[in-house]
Amino acid sequence: MRHTATIQALQKLLQDRLTTQPEILTAHSKDLSWHPSHLPDAVCYPISNQEIAAIVAICNANQTPLIPYGTGTSLEGHILPVLGGITLNLSKMNHILGFNEIDRDCTVQAGVTKFQLNKFLQDKGLFFAAGPGIDASIGGMMATGASGANAVMYGTVKDNVRGLKVVTADGKIISTRKRVQKSSAGYDLTQLFVGSEGTLGIITEVTVVLHPLPKFVAIAVVSFTSIEEAIEAAIQLNQSDLPLAMLELMDEAIINAINQYAQTDYPVQPTLFLELHSQKENLQVFYETIQRIVQQHQSTQMRWATETAAKEELFKARYDAIYAVKALDPEAVVWATDVTVPISRLAEIILKTKKALVELPLFGSLFGHVGDGNFHTILLCNFEDAQAMKRVKDLNHQMVLWALEMEGTCTGEHGIGYGKKEYLQMEFGESGIEIMNKIKKALDPNGIMNPKKIF
């Protein structure tokens, strides 16, 4: 067994909260991405900052890789133990430590999930707005710099964090910032660790920013004759005075999959999903604004809802998308990727990508958070079909090149992880990567923290 000394020391520390059972190792060998699985040597379940500090110190002394694990929902191989080592499952650190109604913040352990936190907040008139639609852990979202559909109004997790508690590679416990709305004190350690993907330290506690629950929510679902018209409408909607919390695009391929999966009857056309957070008395004006804009862009149908049940029914399609695509071929591997460009270049890159998708000899679809210039492709692949896999990899590569040429980024919310390391080099250049490497080596000189990721 590899790392025997580390495992023996951790067994003594954690007792039955360390396991080498094959089924547990297998469960921690894969995330939601297409990347091949890698087995850790052991999985441990800490319950306190002090335990994590002790685990890190042991791993650092023995130069054993250490990989933090939240809920396993990452999309670029972030949690794969490529060199083996110890997977640190933070699911038992799932307590809400402090709620501050006046300050509109909440301190949670890293294993608390987004849905868990919002359930706690539901009778307090506040919510945590950032992050993806899946029930990811707060620590994992901070580690990957995650985002989601609400970013157009509320920003990404980077905009919704006050401070962190982090265990560094040498086993020290640090706080990155006091619980205040702003500070000019020193380097911004919070933003250094947010998005660092577990390569600089283990995020153990997060103080998140909360927002008031919207007074009123309205949903619009609009179908269009072409993806060109849908994108142009989205850009115009985004430039209007609408209080858009969400502005999503789905192409006809995803809509068709959703109709089959959820037994819905949406027109099989490119479709925009809008969510507005507003005062009730303003909704008629906003409805008329939306209707006027979409009619200028050959909309064929607009569904509008303000009642809870109707809203949930309409937007269920938005959150069923990945499952609907997967249901088309349960044996296939889902390959999801993302890029982001300035809004002014969004139509150009989406049209190029859509043309490339149509030419693929397999299922390919497109959806995006078009309110902030971020979009995704979702493809179904068979690892045994080398030619098809090459076509998909080539498309992924071309999307990134287009985005970078348009002053965009290789990933808006999925992160770099294991899958997009070469593109980070393209995006930042040799000098930028050199600075990042210096930070990595300064904070993790033995290279134990989630190795083979980002660089």
Q: What is the 3-state secondary structure (H, E, C) of the chain?
A: CCCHHHHHHHHHHHHHHEECCHHHHHHCCCCCCCCCCCCCCEEECCCCHHHHHHHHHHHHHHCCCEEEECCCCCCCCCCCCCCCCEEEECCCCCCEEEEECCCCEEEEECCCEHHHHHHHHCCCCEECCCCCCCCCEHHHHHHHCCCCCCHHHHCCHHHCEEEEEEEECCCCEEECCCCCCCCCCCCCHHHHHCCCCCCCEEEEEEEEECEECCCEEEEEEEEECCHHHHHHHHHHHHHCCCCEEEEEEECHHHHHHHHHHHCCCCCCCCEEEEEEEECHHHHHHHHHHHHHHHHCCCEEEEEEECCHHHHHHHHHHHHHHHHHHHHHCCCCEEEEEEEECCHHHHHHHHHHHHHHHHCCCCCEEEEEECCCCEEEEEEEECCCCHHHHHHHHHHHHHHHHHHHHCCCECCCCCCCCCCCHHHHHHHHHHHHHHHHHHHHHHHCCCCCECCCCCC
Give the mean model confidence (pLDDT) for residues 229-237.
95
- pLDDT for residue 129: 94
| CATH fold for domain 216-405 | Vanillyl-alcohol Oxidase; Chain A, domain 3 (3.40.462)
Question: Helix crossing, 386-405 with 421-443: angle to 10°?
Answer: 70
Model confidence at 150, pLDDT cuts 50, 70, 90, reads: confident
Predicted confidence (pLDDT) at residue 21 exceeds the cutoff of 80? yes
pLDDT, one tens digit per residue, over 379-401 is 998 877 888 888 889 999 999 99
| CATH fold for domain 4-89 | 3.30.43
Model confidence at 326, pLDDT cuts 50, 70, 90, reads: confident
Predicted confidence (pLDDT) at residue 408 exceeds the cutoff of 80? yes
Query: Measuring CA to CA, which residue among 77, 96, 95, 93 is closest to residue 38?
Result: 77
Query: Measuring CA to CA, which residue among 390, 338, 339, 337 is closest to residue 362?
Result: 390
pLDDT, one tens digit per residue, over 60-110 is 999 999 999 999 988 899 999 999 999 999 999 999 999 999 999 999 999
* Domain positions in the chain: 4-89, 96-212, 216-405
- pLDDT for residue 307: 85
Give the mean model confidence (pLDDT) for residues 369-376.
91
- What's the rounded Cα separation, in Å, for the pair 112 and 298? 44
- What is the chain's mean pLDDT, rounded? 93
pTM: 0.93
pLDDT, one tens digit per residue, over 200-228 is 999 999 999 999 999 889 999 999 999 99
Which range has the worst mean pLDDT, 126-140, 189-203, 303-317? 303-317
Largest CA distance in the chain: 69
- pLDDT for residue 321: 82
Give the mean model confidence (pLDDT) for residues 183-200.
96
pLDDT, one tens digit per residue, over 122-138 is 999 999 999 887 889 99
Give 96-212's CATH code, choosing from 3.40.50.300, 3.30.465.10, 3.30.530.20, 3.10.440.10.
3.30.465.10
Give the mean model confidence (pLDDT) for residues 250-276.
93
Model confidence at 148, pLDDT cuts 50, 70, 90, reads: confident
Higher pLDDT, residue 70 or 33: 70
- pLDDT for residue 271: 96
Residue 38 contacts residue 84 (beta carbons within 8 Å): yes
Predicted confidence (pLDDT) at residue 362 exceeds the cutoff of 90? no
The Cα angle at residue 412 between residues 271 and 31, in degrees rounded to 5 = 95
Predicted confidence (pLDDT) at residue 241 exceeds the cutoff of 90? no
Higher pLDDT, residue 252 or 36: 252
Q: What is the CA radius of gyration of the chain?
A: 22
> By percentage, how much of the chain surpasses pLDDT 90?
77
Predicted confidence (pLDDT) at residue 120 exceeds the cutoff of 80? yes
Q: Do 4-89 and 216-405 have matching folds?
A: no
Query: Measuring CA to CA, which residue among 99, 210, 206 is closest to residue 154?
Result: 210
Bridge partners of 155, per DSSP, are none
